[in-house]
Amino acid sequence: MEVDLLNILLLAGIICFSSMIQSAVGFGIALFATPLLLQMGIPLPSVIIIMLVCSMFQSAMGIFRLRQPMQWKLSSIAVLVRIIGIISGIFILKFLLVTNVDNIKMIVGYILCLSVVLQLFCKQHPVEKLHWGWGGLAFTASGLLAGVCGMGGPPLILWVMAHDWSTKKIRSFMFGLLIASAIFQIILMRFFFGDVIYKDILIGVCLAPVIYLGVHIGLPLGHKMSKTTLRRVAYVILLGIAIASII
At 213, the amino acid letter reads: L
Question: Is pLDDT of 54 > 80?
Answer: yes
pLDDT band at 199 (very low <50, low <70, confident <90, very high): very high
Backbone angles phi, psi at 125, to 5 degrees: -80, 120
pLDDT at 98: 72
Give the pTM.
0.82
Amino acid at position 195, single letter:
D
pLDDT of 201 over the 90 cut: yes
pLDDT surpassing 80 at residue 115: no
Distance CA 129, CA 247 (A): 41
Looking at the structure of the chain, the number of domains it has is: 1
Determine the pLDDT at residue 230.
63
- Tell me if 26 sits within 8 A of 218, measured CB to CB: no
Highest mean pLDDT of the ranges 158-162, 191-195, 242-246: 191-195
Structure confidence at residue 206 as a pLDDT band (50, 70, 90): very high
pLDDT of residue 189: 92
Q: What is the pLDDT of residues 210-238, one digit of tens each?
A: 998 988 888 787 777 666 676 676 677 66
What's the pLDDT score for residue 97? 79
φ/ψ of 71, rounded to 5, equals -100, 80
CA distances from 144 to 39, 65, 178 (A): 22, 30, 14
Tens of pLDDT, residue by residue over 149-190, are 888 877 887 787 777 777 777 777 888 888 888 999 999 999
pLDDT tens-digit map of 56-110: 888 887 777 766 666 777 778 888 999 999 999 898 888 877 766 567 667 777 8
- pLDDT band of 244, cuts 50, 70, 90: low
**Average pLDDT, whole number, for the chain?**
81
- Domain residues for the domain of 56 are 5-246
pLDDT for 13 beyond 60: yes
pLDDT of 163 reads: 77
